[in-house]
């Protein structure tokens, strides 16, 4: 038996293990080439079960066949660690995150050196909508940090939780430490970008991010998302032309439907609310915010759910929002009835011009919005709708209170202008 780069005992041949290490490292850094490295590992040792399981995760076109191959190979000398991770990945890829949730947490606790499995388990917990979500995610990472120390991936992922808790200086220091160790880590760059946004460091943040993006592997899965972050900087700086140009670029033919919902739909909504576009103008070719039809009856998580709800609002689909609220009670994901349904109804009121009721409902949801998952930067679009609904509904007191809190935390040209328009300092 040999050990991989993180110290896990594996059964693959030396060359295959090196190649799988590369696949895992690229996955942790959100770099490109994960599937290619995993495929090379299976070629170097066709009997290496774990390599087939990682390929199943990295290349959806191979998932069914690669998982079947991985399961069949477990009987031929696989280690306990490999059996555990293959079992977790098999449950996750075939049954979805909620079928795999407990298996993932148990795997992470038993094998804290497996940062791939630990990261997947922590992501499931982060999407669980539990009230203590931040503490729960840190608990998943804690054993790994005890055995691996200040690993760049751990610093980056723990830093995201720290940033969500409002500890921006600490999160920024963790991002920089991770980048010093791995200058090309997209995971660390993503954290640094969030800190720039939350501290309103838009000029320096945009210059740094654009420079980093020029060096990214174009195959990476965060290329589009970091472009969205750059557009948030230009929007905050009041550069309308640059923001609209970036939105148009993000909406090109290479953009998949997931990113059209999660990134482009929310950016389109912000551009409308800031007056860069009219209420019905759409520079995404009608794809911004448009969810896959299966998401209207079932979806993987509340993270996807709140983006879907915003996307339907972007497309003025009030009836679909109300139907989604009804469907939420039958969904298997955590938080569907408690969190998704009232959000959909509030946004349906907004779309239908019932601005006062929409503002009241969105204000009531605000204290629990952290449970939706994702980041402050993503969830703030719902707060933007709340502010607009309050102003349109004659609730200037509500709008001013939310705007004042936001400008105290993170000054923004548009927020300051809205306050000034209401005669507030």
Q: pLDDT for 285-308, tens place per residue?
A: 999 999 999 999 999 999 999 999
pLDDT digits (tens, 9 = 90+) for 167-199: 999 999 999 999 999 999 999 999 999 999 999
DSSP β-ladder status, 2-3 and 9-10: antiparallel
Residue 240 has pLDDT above 90, yes or no: yes
pLDDT of residue 407: 82
For 3, the 3-state DSSP assignment is: strand
Residue 51's nearest CA partner among 79, 16, 25, 22 is 16
d(CA 371, CA 375): 10
d(CA 36, CA 42): 10
Residue 20 has pLDDT above 90, yes or no: yes
- List the alpha helices (DSSP H) in 127-265: 133-148, 152-164, 168-181, 186-198, 202-214, 223-236, 240-250, 257-259
Average pLDDT, the chain: 96
Tokens representing 8 are 């896990």
Tokens representing 238 are 């009041």
CB-CB contact of 87 with 81 (8 Å): no
pLDDT digits (tens, 9 = 90+) for 272-289: 999 999 999 999 999 999
**H/E element, 2:** strand 2-3
d(CA 317, CA 21): 46
pLDDT band at 231 (very low <50, low <70, confident <90, very high): very high
pLDDT digits (tens, 9 = 90+) for 358-401: 999 999 999 999 999 999 999 999 999 999 999 999 999 999 99
Residue 424 has pLDDT above 90, yes or no: no
The 10 Å Cβ neighbour count of residue 311 is 27
Decide: residue 146, CB within 10 A, 0-12 exposed, 13-18 middle, 19+ buried.
exposed
pLDDT of residue 103: 98
Residue 61's nearest CA partner among 38, 32, 29 is 38
- List the alpha helices (DSSP H) in 74-114: 80-95, 97-110
Rounded mean pLDDT of 195-213?
96
CB-CB contact of 173 with 191 (8 Å): no
pLDDT of residue 418: 82
d(CA 106, CA 118): 10
Residue 30's nearest CA partner among 168, 211, 153, 205 is 153
Domains of the chain by start residue, with CATH: 2-126 (1.25.40), 291-425 (no CATH)
Rounded mean pLDDT of 341-353?
98
Rounded mean pLDDT of 211-233?
95
**H/E element, 358:** helix 355-365
Tokens representing 211 are 């420079």
CB-CB contact of 152 with 184 (8 Å): no
pLDDT of residue 422: 79
CB-CB contact of 366 with 342 (8 Å): no
Tokens representing 157 are 């992922």
d(CA 164, CA 275): 28
For 335, the 3-state DSSP assignment is: coil
Of the chain, the percentage scoring pLDDT greater than 70 comes to 99
**At 133, phi and psi to the nearest 5?**
-60, -40
d(CA 275, CA 65): 50
Q: First CA to last CA across the chain, in angstroms?
A: 68
pLDDT of residue 180: 98
d(CA 413, CA 128): 34
Residue 262 has pLDDT above 90, yes or no: yes
**H/E element, 222:** none
**H/E element, 353:** none
**H/E element, 9:** strand 9-10
Rounded mean pLDDT of 46-74?
97
What is the pTM assigned to this prediction? 0.95
pLDDT of residue 425: 62
For 23, the 3-state DSSP assignment is: helix
Tokens representing 126 are 């982060």
Residue 113 has pLDDT above 70, yes or no: yes
């Amino acid at each position: 038996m040999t050990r991989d780069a993180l110290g896990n005992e594996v059964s693959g041949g030396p060359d295959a293990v090196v190649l799988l290490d590369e696949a895992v490292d690229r996955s942790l850094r959100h770099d490109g080439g994960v599937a290619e490295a995993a495929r090379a590992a299976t070629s170097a040792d066709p009997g290496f079960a774990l390599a087939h399981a990682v390929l199943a995760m990295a290349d959806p076109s191979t998932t069914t066949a690669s998982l079947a191959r991985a399961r069949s190979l477990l009987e031929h000398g696989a280690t306990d660690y490999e059996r555990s991770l293959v079992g977790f990945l098999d449950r996750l890829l075939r049954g979805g995150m909620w079928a795999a949730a407990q298996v993932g947490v148990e795997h992470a606790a038993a094998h804290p050196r497996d940062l791939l499995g630990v990261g997947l388990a922590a992501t499931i917990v982060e999407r669980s909508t539990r009230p203590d979500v931040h503490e729960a995610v840190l608990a998943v990472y804690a054993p790994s940090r005890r055995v691996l120390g200040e690993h760049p991936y751990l610093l980056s992922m723990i830093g995201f939780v720290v940033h969500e808790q409002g500890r921006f200086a600490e999160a920024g220091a963790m991002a920089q430490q991770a980048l010093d160790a791995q200058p090309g880590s997209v995971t660390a760059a993503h954290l640094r970008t969030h800190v720039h946004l939350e501290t309103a460091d838009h000029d320096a943040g945009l210059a740094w991010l654009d420079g980093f993006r020029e060096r990214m592997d174009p195959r990476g899965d965060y290329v589009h998302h970091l472009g969205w972050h750059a557009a948030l900087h230009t929007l905050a700086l009041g550069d309308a032309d640059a923001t609209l140009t970036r939105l148009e670029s993000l909406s090109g033919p290479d953009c998949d439907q997931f990113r059209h919902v999660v990134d482009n739909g929310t950016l389109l909504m912000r551009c409308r609310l800031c007056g860069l576009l009219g209420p019905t103008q759409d520079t995404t070719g009608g794809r911004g915010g448009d969810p896959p039809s299966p998401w209207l009856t079932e979806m993987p998580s509340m993270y996807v759910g709140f983006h879907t709800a915003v996307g339907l609002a972007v497309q003025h689909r009030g009836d679909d929002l109300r139907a989604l609220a009804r469907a939420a009670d039958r969904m298997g994901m955590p938080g569907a009835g408690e969190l998704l349904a009232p959000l959909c109804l509030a946004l349906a009121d907004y779309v239908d011009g019932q601005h006062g009721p929409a503002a009241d409902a969105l204000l009531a949801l605000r204290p629990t919005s952290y449970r939706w998952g994702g980041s402050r930067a993503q969830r703030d679009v719902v707060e933007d709708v709340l502010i607009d609904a309050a102003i349109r509904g004659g609730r200037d007191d509500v709008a001013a209170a939310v705007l004042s809190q936001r400008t105290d935390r993170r000054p923004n040209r548009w927020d300051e202008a809205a306050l000034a328009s209401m005669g507030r300092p």
